[in-house]
Amino acid sequence: MKKLLLTLAVAATSWGVQAADTAYVFQAGHPSLKEFILGPVPHPDDNKPNADRILLGQKLFFDPRMSGDGNMSCATCHNPALGWSDGLPTARGVKSSVLGRASPTVFNTAYNSIQMWDGRKKSLEDQAMGPMQANVEMNMDIGKLFSWIKSNEGYKTLFAKAYPGEPISESTLSRAIAAYERTVISDNSPFDRWLKGDAKAMTAQQVDGFKVFVGKGNCTACHSGANLTDNGFHNVGLASWGKAEPDMGRYGIRPVAALKGAFKTPTVREAARTGPFFHDGSAITLMDVVEHYDRGGDVKTNLSANIKPLNLSKTEKEALVAFMEGLSSPFIVASIPELPLK
C-alpha cells in the first residue's frame, strides 16, 4: 500500500509530465489527469461579468416575487444549502405540484455546453426566463413581472448599473441571472486539490475509487472531461423507462430513434450533496447509483452500449462512492441577499 501511495504522490504532483501520467493511469487508454482540471469559467461575449451584474442576478435568483404566487424563487428548487438542488426526487412546482423531473444542481452549469435534462436550452441566458413563465413552475405573467420590476426603484438602479443604456427586458434580466449562476462553481474539492498535486487531499480509498471511475466502472465513457460530463445524451436503462408512457428525454427535442429515453449526462461534481439522483429521482444514495450501473441498468430497450454489468466487488463499489464524496468543495454559506423592497 505504501508503495502505491508513493507512486500516486509522484504522479499527482507532476501531472503535466507525460511519463508520470502514464505511470498513474496504469492502463493505456485511460484519460490523463490533466483532462480533469477545470479551466477558467467561460463567459459569452455579450455578457461579460462584473460585480453589478452578479449582484443584480443574485437578487433576482433569490426573489420570490418572480413567481405568480410570490412564494417561489429559483432558489426554492436550486437551494444553496441543498447542493443548489432541492433534495427531492422530482421538483415541486406551483401549489406544491409534483413535477416530472428532478431539479439539477446549478453548480458548474457554467461549464455545460447545453442545458436541461433534454438539452432544450443552449445557454444559461436562454434558460433563465423559462421557469418564471412555465405555468407548472413559477407561473409568472411576464407582463406583470416587468411592470413590477420597472416600478421598483431599487431594481431600476440595479439594472441601470448592471446594463447601462439597456432597457429592463428579458435579455438584461436573463443575462444578470446567468452572470450570477456562473459564480456558482465547484472547483476546490479534495479531487481538485489532489489533481493539482496535494497527494494527501484524497484518501487511498478515494484514489482507488477514481481508478474504478476511469477503469473497470467505465464511468468516464460519459462522465468525461473536467466537469465530469460529455454534455451528451444517453439512455442508462432506468426502471421508469419501462413504464407505459415513459419520459422520452432528448427524443422529445430531437426525434432520432437512438435518443429515445436518453437524458443529458449530469456532472458528478458535488453529487454527495445533490441526491436523490437521476432525472426521475429513482436513486436515493450514491450506492444506489453504483448498484444501478453494476447490474447494467434495469430496462434494456435502447440502452446505451456503454452500460453493461460491471461485476464490481463490494470494495470497488465502496471506493467509487468514496471517490464521488471527494467531489464536494468546502461548504460555503450563501445568505439570502437583501431584496429591493420598493
Q: What span, in angstroms and rounded, lies between the C-alpha atoms of 283 and 24?
A: 32
Q: What span, in angstroms and rounded, lies between the C-alpha atoms of 163 and 146?
A: 16
Q: What span, in angstroms and rounded, lies between the C-alpha atoms of 255 and 194?
A: 42
Q: How far is the CB of 213 from ligand HEC (least distance, A)?
A: 6
Output the CA–CA distances (angstroms, integers) from residue 213 to 218, 225, 319, 325, 327, in the order listed: 6, 12, 9, 13, 12
Q: What span, in angstroms and rounded, lies between the C-alpha atoms of 339 and 336?
A: 9
Our CB check for ligand HEC shows the closer of 306 and 311 to be 306
Asked if 202 contacts 194 with a C-beta cutoff of 8 angstroms, the reply is yes
Query: Which grid coordinates belong to 82?
Result: 441543498
Our CB check for ligand HEC shows the closer of 132 and 201 to be 132
Neighbour count for residue 333 (Cβ, 10 Å):
6
Our CB check for ligand HEC shows the closer of 129 and 201 to be 129
Q: Which residues bind ligand HEC (CB under 6 A)?
A: 72, 74, 76-78, 91, 93, 99, 101, 103-104, 106, 109, 112, 115-118, 124, 127-128, 131-132, 137-138, 177, 181, 217-219, 221-223, 234, 236, 238, 263, 265-266, 268, 271, 274, 277-279, 286, 289-290, 293, 304, 306-307, 320
Neighbour count for residue 23 (Cβ, 10 Å):
14
Burial 147-174 (b: 16+ CB within 10 A, else e): eebeebeebeebbeebbeeeebeeebbb
Output the CA–CA distances (angstroms, integers) from residue 133 to 2, 94, 124, 144, 170, in the order listed: 57, 11, 15, 11, 11
Residues 6+ apart with CB under 8 A from 293: 217, 219, 236, 307, 310
Q: How far is the CB of 16 from ligand HEC (least distance, A)?
A: 27
Our CB check for ligand HEC shows the closer of 20 and 269 to be 269
Neighbour count for residue 292 (Cβ, 10 Å):
20
Q: What span, in angstroms and rounded, lies between the C-alpha atoms of 274 and 87?
A: 7
Our CB check for ligand HEC shows the closer of 190 and 217 to be 217
Our CB check for ligand HEC shows the closer of 52 and 280 to be 280
